[in-house]
């Protein structure tokens, strides 16, 4: 009698939609995305959000992962590390996310990673540049699918070695980032056996760059390394064009992105530098991605949109291999994950959870019919030359 009743109950329960969905494994895979949507990093964070949303929509349309739909839970961190930790805690504890994207700034990521073990959550980074995340601050639940800051600089130095430019000058914004980046660049120039003729730093918010342009011109340099961002970058490029600086000096920057190009238009033509992702990468995967992206957003995918998409694909490959989102099962699967990405083959490395991938040097050119100039790939360096040794931030040769 009792047995019979239990069976009836079970049958009735199984017929109810909620349990049915469970039985088919259709509970959504929730991914928390605390990301800077406002504040100085808001533009980058918004790109990351676009990239993740595009992937979620595409994947859900194709039946989800393991038959389960993806649900993104996006929170604005404003780019503040303390807010970021709080929002990450919210999505983990309140919304029950065991998977994380986002943390736009490295300072945010560095604040969050010590908590990952306690939360039993995996964080797949798509944009954090700080070398320490896969070095001295490494934690087992952190994975970096993107090119890191040291890898970016490495690409530029490899390019300098084979290039024909011999004399370099540098202009940077007058704070830590400008001074650090130019310090690294200066070492690389010397290591490549070339000449570094001088550097100058402009205060944040400089509007008139005429004096700096005069200095660059007078230095006799053939190439000028720029560490500028935002308004300062736009003002410098516009004015450099006014003075025809680009006719004499090759302008080089650490990161070329569409957003900066759109701010200055034709003044960006001729600018060269490294990039983490560019829509003009020519392979079937990327061409399909760019075409689908254009249908969705009526624009080319920018650097952090492409990088986020790659990070999503990396996480997806791990989940499909592990057949689970439980951190202890997912971790080993991600450590050996290899994907055929929009950037070509990308492989996660078990020793420090850095994805090994190639780096690009691009030059901004004008294409007929396009409203804005576009970055075109000049040269590509393979992953084994670009990625540092395990848990290292520098390169021996």
Partner 1 sequence: MDFLAFLVTQCLNALSQAALLFFLGCGLTLIFGIMRIVNFAHGAFFMLGAYVGWSAVYVTGSFWGALIAAPILVGGFGAAFEMGILRRLYGRDGHSFLMVTFGLTLMMGEAIRLLWGVAALQVEMPKSLSGIVFILDEPFPIYRLFLAGAGIVTALVIWQFLERTRLGLLIRATSQNAEMVHALGTDVRLVRSAVFGIGCGLAGIGGVFAAPMVTASLGMAPNAVIDTFVIVIIGGMGSFLGSMIGALLVAFVQVFGSYYFPDFALAFMYLIMLTILVVRPGGLLGKEA
In whole angstroms, give the CA distance from residue 315 to residue 70.
12
Q: How far is the CB of 253 from partner 1 (least distance, A)?
A: 16
Sites for partner 1 among residues 103-132 (CB under 8 A) = none
The residue (of 205 and 332) whose beta carbon lies closer to partner 1 is 205
Q: 219: which 2 tokens?
A: 């230095």
Q: Is 370 in the site for partner 1 (CB under 8 A)?
A: no
Q: How far is the CB of 138 from partner 1 (least distance, A)?
A: 34
Burial level of 155, CB count in 10 A (0-12/13-18/19+)?
Answer: buried
- Binding track, positions 296-335, relative to partner 1; x by CB under 8 A: ----------------------------------------
Q: How far is the CB of 222 from partner 1 (least distance, A)?
A: 16
CA proximity to 260, closest of 223, 302, 216 = 302
Q: Of the ranges 82-90, 102-110, 153-161, 256-264, which one interacts with partner 1 (CB under 8 A)?
A: 256-264
Residue in 115, 262, 331, 338 binding partner 1, rule: CB under 8 A: 262
The residue (of 29 and 235) whose beta carbon lies closer to partner 1 is 235
- Order the strands of the 167-173 sheet from edge to edge: 195-202, 167-173, 223-227, 250-253, 272-275, 359-365, 374-381
CA proximity to 89, closest of 324, 81, 125 = 81
The residue (of 147 and 258) whose beta carbon lies closer to partner 1 is 258
The residue (of 214 and 283) whose beta carbon lies closer to partner 1 is 214
The residue (of 78 and 341) whose beta carbon lies closer to partner 1 is 78
Cα separation values, 268 from 159, 164, 218, 280, 345, Å: 20, 21, 22, 17, 30
Sites for partner 1 among residues 174-203 (CB under 8 A) = 200-203
Written as one string, the DSSP assignment of 211-253 is HHHHHHHHHT-SEEEEE--HHHHHHHHHHHHHTTGGGTSEEEE
Q: How far is the CB of 271 from partner 1 (least distance, A)?
A: 14
In whole angstroms, give the CA distance from residue 77 to residue 19.
36
Sites for partner 1 among residues 43-62 (CB under 8 A) = 43
Dihedral, 12, 17, 22, 26 alpha carbons, nearest 10: 160
**Partners of 331 in beta bridges:** none
Sites for partner 1 among residues 213-242 (CB under 8 A) = 214-215, 217-218, 230-231, 234-235, 238-239, 242
Q: How many residues bind partner 1 (CB under 8 A)?
A: 31
In whole angstroms, give the CA distance from residue 287 to residue 300.
11
Residue in 27, 211, 336, 394 binding partner 1, rule: CB under 8 A: 211
Q: Where does this chain bind partner 1 (CB under 8 A)?
A: 42-43, 200-203, 205, 207-208, 210-212, 214-215, 217-218, 230-231, 234-235, 238-239, 242-244, 259, 262-265, 267
């Amino acid at each position: 009698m009792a047995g019979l009743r239990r069976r009836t109950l079970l049958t009735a329960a199984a017929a109810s939609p909620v349990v049915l969905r469970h039985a088919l494994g259709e509970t959504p895979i929730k991914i928390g995305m605390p990301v800077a949507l406002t504040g100085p990093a808001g533009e980058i964070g918004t790109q990351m959000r676009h990239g993740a949303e595009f992937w979620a929509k595409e994947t859900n349309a194709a039946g989800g992962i393991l038959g389960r739909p993806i649900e993104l839970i996006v929170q604005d961190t404003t780019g503040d590390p303390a807010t970021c930790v709080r929002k990450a805690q919210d999505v983990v504890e309140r919304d029950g996310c065991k998977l994380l994207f986002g943390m736009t700034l490295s300072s945010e990521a560095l604040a969050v990673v010590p908590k990952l073990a306690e939360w039993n959550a995996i964080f797949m980074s798509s944009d954090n540049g700080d070398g320490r995340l896969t070095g001295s601050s490494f934690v087992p639940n952190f994975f970096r699918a993107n090119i890191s800051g040291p890898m970016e600089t490495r690409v530029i130095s490899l390019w300098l070695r084979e290039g024909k430019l011999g004399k370099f000058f540098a202009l940077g914004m007058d704070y830590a980032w400008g001074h650090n980046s130019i310090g690294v660049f200066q070492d690389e120039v010397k290591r490549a056996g070339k000449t570094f003729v001088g550097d100058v730093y402009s205060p944040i918010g400089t509007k008139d760059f005429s004096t700096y342009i005069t200095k660059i011109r007078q230095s006799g340099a053939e190439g000028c390394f720029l560490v500028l961002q935002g308004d300062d970058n736009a003002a410098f490029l516009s004015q450099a064009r006014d003075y025809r600086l680009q006719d004499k000096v090759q302008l080089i920057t650490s990161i070329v992105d569409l957003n900066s190009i759109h701010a200055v238009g034709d003044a960006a033509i001729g600018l060269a530098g490294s990039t983490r992702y560019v829509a003009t990468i020519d392979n079937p995967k990327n061409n399909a991605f760019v075409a689908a992206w254009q249908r969705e957003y009526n624009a080319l995918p920018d650097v952090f949109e492409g990088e986020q998409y790659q990070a999503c694909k990396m996480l997806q490959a791990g989940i499909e291999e592990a057949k689970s989102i439980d951190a202890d099962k997912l971790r080993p699967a991600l450590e050996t994950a290899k994907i055929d990405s929009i950037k070509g083959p990308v492989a996660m490395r078990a020793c420090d959870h850095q994805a090994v991938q190639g780096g690009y040097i691009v030059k901004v050119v004008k294409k007929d019919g396009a409203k804005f100039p576009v970055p075109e790939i000049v040269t590509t360096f393979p992953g084994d030359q670009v990625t540092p040794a395990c848990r290292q931030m520098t390169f021996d040769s």
